Structure 1
């Protein structure tokens, strides 16, 4: 197996120069860098990551703990994390905490024992054990998507966090439905305890207040952030004496559950009930009617989390920060509006349409800076 010394001889440079090129520890002249890379390619040299980690105490690896990896939203976040990590020369170790606090702590411990340089975590609704472990072992970590209110002793933030805006986009969906004449607007909210659930409920109530509509606690149900829970929650809403005429769902999985409940009860969208959803996803434009949705910048969230973590590794003592990225309102037809593409709205069904078209969207926030 070729060694770094072999690469140095082939490129006509010192071993130290080869090390600087491969590890990015010092600028190297472009033609010298290229000579080293050509030698690496020609000889088939690979870096001994284990040996390097013993010297530097760094493995150039990142642990990613995210539940429901099969969810398209988190799949796109994973793509953003992976691309940004690879670009920076880091590998990725992935684990699923299943949104269970005890399993979450074990997963984080296992990643830590594998000597990852830092972690990116979408925390569970009850992250006390997680926070205790990270604090006790001083693990560099960035919380992703879901925020954690865990201030330090001086009141400052303890951890870096990256997420989308939640309240304002949800309020936008509610006010849009109110502008269309709806006065009873229901919300299928997510798992209690998650910051995303809390903030979207806040946005829902803010939207009602802005539209001059009263808040009715019977119109707010929890779908546990998954399809089956949302199906039952939507059925509960439909069984009310005065059911909602419009519905907002809190994430993509709950949108599927809500649609199943509506289909099972023969309710058409938007004829019998208008529907808007938080989370745009690949199939949203394939349903008939096409789903009006809030699109989160999923890949950007993942990529930004990596950059924030790398900044933390470079400057361990820098103040923690929270980064919120803007969402977009994607206007389609499930809300009851005419098709923005110009074609008439088709009759409701639960199957894909034959010819999906592009849909306009608008940014709801420009708050992409730390807050």
Structure 2
């Protein structure tokens, strides 16, 4: 019987230092702040790392410095496609600075969101992004730079807020439907801050034009099932509706189900507009008209605001609105009658 060779041990920072002919502290400096090391020594260390297949220990790096190079992101519903572009935008801006994003998903509710934030803080993240309804205590005493992404209820004035201009986006949706000649319009909304701003922009513009408007779901959620239930209520109570604006693309998908269940078609009988311009809206099967709120740019600017605050915690609070646009596809048309 032949004995199995023991697994080779992982190379350490000391092995890299010995091969490169430098001190372990200089290897650590190359890994954390390479600009402070001469090019010749940087290349020697990097060549040794490549030859040995060395992978830095994040735990060791954390112990050696005061930062984990980790940013915590709290969301309240992973099914909401808005978060996909937000995360993509954040990562595009953070990666080049050596940061990674740790995601925590929580169901709506102040306690759940606080638990998610506390879990990230326990991991010693360098900064925190709240993309959920924070409630009264989540944003107090986090101890790290914190930025809120998207409209949320009850955000203190001393906290950075980077968000879409959802009032303007709601107005864009209203202008499009009114321009097509719709005067009997429904809106599927929700209870969150973003939904409230989209509703306000839409409501103001429709009522200013003197058109009929019916709103469903103001106190509910914004999932596909919520969209289906609200659209069912709307069409059962106001069957004369010729157009529906949904607070997000996922709710719009639920509206499609409610419309189909009543033997109606989009857009021949009812036009539908979503919000977020998500991958769902871009699907060749749906071709959903949608407001593009540029959540990717929100993510980029959230990351930049957080990096600025990490560098200078004394900076004044930042408030920024990202301008939306309307992407017209095949789910909106002039009313048939």
What TM-score, normalized to structure 1? 0.79
What TM-score, normalized to structure 2? 0.86
Whether 1:144 aligns to 2:162 is no
Change (3 A) 1:242 1:267: closer
Q: How many equivalent residue pairs?
A: 323
Whether 1:37 aligns to 2:46 is yes
State the shift of 1:242 in Å. Answer: 5.6
How big is each residue's C-alpha offset from its partner over 1:173-224, in whole Å with a ceiling of 9 and x where there is no partner? 111111111111211112x1x22011101111232145x22564xx011152
Alpha-carbon distance between aligned partners in 2 of 1:99 and 1:143, rounded to the nearest angstrom: 16
Q: What does residue 183 of structure 1 align with?
A: 183
Change (3 A) 1:260 1:65: same
Q: What does residue 108 of structure 1 align with?
A: 117
Whether the 8 Å contact between 1:163 and 1:323 is mirrored in structure 2 is yes
Q: What does residue 51 of structure 1 align with?
A: 60
Which of the residues 193, 198, 201 maps onto 2:199? Answer: 201
Change (3 A) 1:165 1:145: same
Question: SS at 2:226's partner residue?
Answer: helix
Question: SS at 1:130's partner residue?
Answer: coil
Whether 1:280 aligns to 2:277 is yes
Question: SS at 1:62's partner residue?
Answer: strand
Alignment of 1:1-371 (within 5 A): 1-24=10-33, 26-124=35-133, 127-131=135-139, 135-151=140-156, 157-190=157-190, 192=191, 194-210=192-208, 212-214=209-211, 216=213, 219-222=214-217, 224-241=221-238, 243-286=240-283, 290-336=287-333
Q: What does residue 357 of structure 1 align with?
A: none
Taking only aligned residues, the RMSD between alpha carbons, in angstroms, comes to 2.4
Structure 1, unpaired ranges of 5+ = 152-156, 338-371
Alpha-carbon distance between aligned partners in 2 of 1:34 and 1:25, rounded to the nearest angstrom: 10
* Higher RCO (CA 8 Å, separation ≥ 6 residues): 2
Question: SS at 1:95's partner residue?
Answer: strand
Question: SS at 1:277's partner residue?
Answer: strand
How big is each residue's C-alpha offset from its partner over 1:98-130, in whole Å with a ceiling of 9 and x where there is no partner? 112111111111111121112111122x61131
Question: SS at 2:280's partner residue?
Answer: coil
How big is each residue's C-alpha offset from its partner over 1:72-118, in whole Å with a ceiling of 9 and x where there is no partner? 32123223334443332223322111112111111111111121112
